[in-house]
């Protein structure tokens, strides 16, 4: 009986939210929206860029606070952060690449992990997609904004159950000249939006990862690192099997650049799809059910940050590993077998 009452209450709450607490139908915009111009240099600032500044500021402040409160015996908040970093270093980095390479790779890998994680979680905060600047007369599907005054400030708000118009269907657009109350139609360009829904952000991190991986490869192997891509040794010796080495090197070159594409669209696609899912669920079922999808997005945000960091770590380890060692060992082993057979 109790379970049935709970189920009825949940259904009633969901129904009440869908009918009486309905927000405007979400408009899916792939490109980040322009929110203001930088006061000094005058370049346009998008909402994803604006959000990324807060993420970076949070990371800097966190580093300063933790750094100043560190003690010989870790405790409190700084101890928790140190335990997180030490656990990540020992459990993942050292176990995969060893102590020596781990010290080189850890700063970049953990920074990528932490920045992507905080960016993904910042995109789930309630301030996203609800506060911003209005765009009067923008787009076909528009919502009616109401002009009002809050704490002495003139603002425009979207009321509960707002009136909407669709210019593509011939609906009439409301302008400030047509409404005595000063109401107008348009869209909301949110001031805060998940950073990784802007394809430029994951692409920049992917390029950063790519540059460091190649740098570590040249740093460890010198010009011998190019042998991974341009292996003509057997072909120059007259061995036709050298054509396979040339073909494999070509595939390696393609795969190096394909990583940038896969890194970018894997992260962008998952986070953008999650944002669309939350917007649609928040519109269709405002209460309770949307919380389940928030929990899912918390998990997805963590997994995507972890996958990006771990793939960077694995590719870095592959880059610093000499690809000629296996051939030399195989050749030496073959020589020993030949000598023993002759004897």
- Residues 98-124 have pLDDT tens digits of 898 999 999 999 999 999 999 999 999
In this structure, the answer to whether residues 143 and 267 fall within a common structural domain is no
Residue 338, in any domain of the structure: no
Residue 252, in any domain of the structure: yes
Q: Report how far residue 133's alpha carbon sits from residue 156's, in angstroms, rounded to the nearest whole number.
A: 9
Residue 208, in any domain of the structure: yes
Residue 7, in any domain of the structure: no
In this structure, the answer to whether residues 125 and 144 fall within a common structural domain is no
Residue 70: pLDDT band (50, 70, 90) is confident
In this structure, the answer to whether residues 106 and 222 fall within a common structural domain is yes
Q: Which residue range forms the structural domain that includes residue 141?
A: 132-190
Q: How many domains does the chain have?
A: 2
Residue 33, in any domain of the structure: no
Whether 209 has a pLDDT exceeding 90, the answer reads: yes
- The residues with which 45 forms a beta bridge, in sequence order, are 36
In this structure, the answer to whether residues 125 and 269 fall within a common structural domain is yes
The SS3 assignment for 191 reads coil
In this structure, the answer to whether residues 309 and 183 fall within a common structural domain is no
In this structure, the answer to whether residues 103 and 166 fall within a common structural domain is no
- Decide: 189 and 35 in contact? Cβ < 8 Å: yes
Rounded-to-10 torsion of CA 127, 129, 133, 136: -150
Residue 249: pLDDT band (50, 70, 90) is confident
In this structure, the answer to whether residues 182 and 250 fall within a common structural domain is no
Q: Report how far residue 49's alpha carbon sits from residue 338's, in angstroms, rounded to the nearest whole number.
A: 65
- Decide: 227 and 324 in contact? Cβ < 8 Å: yes
What are the pLDDT digits (tens) for 79-105? 888 888 889 999 999 999 989 899 999
The SS3 assignment for 156 reads strand
Sign of CA dihedral 188, 192, 197, 203: positive
In this structure, the answer to whether residues 212 and 79 fall within a common structural domain is yes
- Across the chain, what does the average pLDDT equal? 81
In this structure, the answer to whether residues 151 and 240 fall within a common structural domain is no
In this structure, the answer to whether residues 171 and 202 fall within a common structural domain is no
Residue 30, in any domain of the structure: no
- Decide: 179 and 204 in contact? Cβ < 8 Å: no
- Residue 33's pLDDT is what? 87
What are the pLDDT digits (tens) for 259-273? 999 999 999 999 999
- Residue 342's pLDDT is what? 39
Q: What is the pTM of this model?
A: 0.82
Average the pLDDT over 26-35 and give the result.
84
Residue 283: pLDDT band (50, 70, 90) is confident
Range with the lowest mean pLDDT among 35-44, 106-115, 219-228, 307-316?
A: 35-44
In this structure, the answer to whether residues 209 and 122 fall within a common structural domain is yes
Residue 316, in any domain of the structure: yes
- Residue 338's pLDDT is what? 39
Residue 4, in any domain of the structure: no
């Amino acid at each position: 009986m109790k379970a049935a009452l709970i189920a009825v209450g949940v259904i009633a709450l969901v129904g009440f939210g869908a009918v009486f607490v309905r927000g405007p139908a979400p408009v899916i915009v792939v490109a980040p929206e322009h929110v203001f111009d930088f006061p000094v240099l005058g370049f346009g600032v998008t909402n994803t860029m604006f959000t990324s500044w807060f993420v970076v500021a949070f990371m800097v402040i966190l580093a300063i606070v933790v750094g100043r409160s560190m003690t010989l015996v870790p405790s409190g908040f700084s101890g928790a952060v140190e335990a997180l970093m030490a656990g990540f270093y020992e459990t993942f980095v050292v176990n995969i690449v060893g102590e020596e390479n781990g010290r080189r790779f850890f700063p970049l890998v953990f920074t990528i992990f932490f920045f992507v994680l905080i960016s993904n979680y910042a995109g789930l905060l309630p301030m996203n997609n609800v506060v911003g600047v209005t765009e009067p007369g923008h787009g076909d599907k528009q919502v009616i904004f109401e002009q009002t005054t809050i704490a002495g400030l003139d603002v425009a708000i979207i009321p509960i159950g707002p009136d909407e118009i669709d210019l593509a269907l011939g609906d009439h657009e409301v302008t400030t000249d047509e409404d005595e109350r000063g109401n107008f139609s348009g869209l909301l360009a949110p001031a805060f939006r998940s950073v990784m829904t802007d394809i430029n952000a994951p692409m920049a991190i992917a390029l950063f990862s790519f540059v460091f991986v190649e740098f570590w490869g040249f740093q460890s192997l010198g010009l011998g690192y190019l042998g991974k891509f341009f292996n003509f040794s057997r072909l120059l010796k007259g061995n036709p099997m050298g054509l396979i080495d040339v073909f494999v090197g070509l595939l390696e070159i393609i795969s190096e650049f394909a990583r940038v594409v896969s890194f970018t669209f894997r992260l962008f696609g998952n986070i953008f799809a999650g944002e669309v899912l939350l917007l649609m669920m928040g519109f269709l079922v405002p209460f309770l059910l949307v919380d389940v999808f928030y929990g899912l997005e918390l998990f997805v945000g963590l997994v995507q940050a972890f996958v990006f960091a771990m793939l960077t770590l694995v590719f870095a380890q592959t880059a610093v590993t000499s690809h000629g060692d296996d051939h030399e060992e195989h050749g030496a082993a073959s020589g020993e077998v030949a000598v023993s057979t002759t004897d």
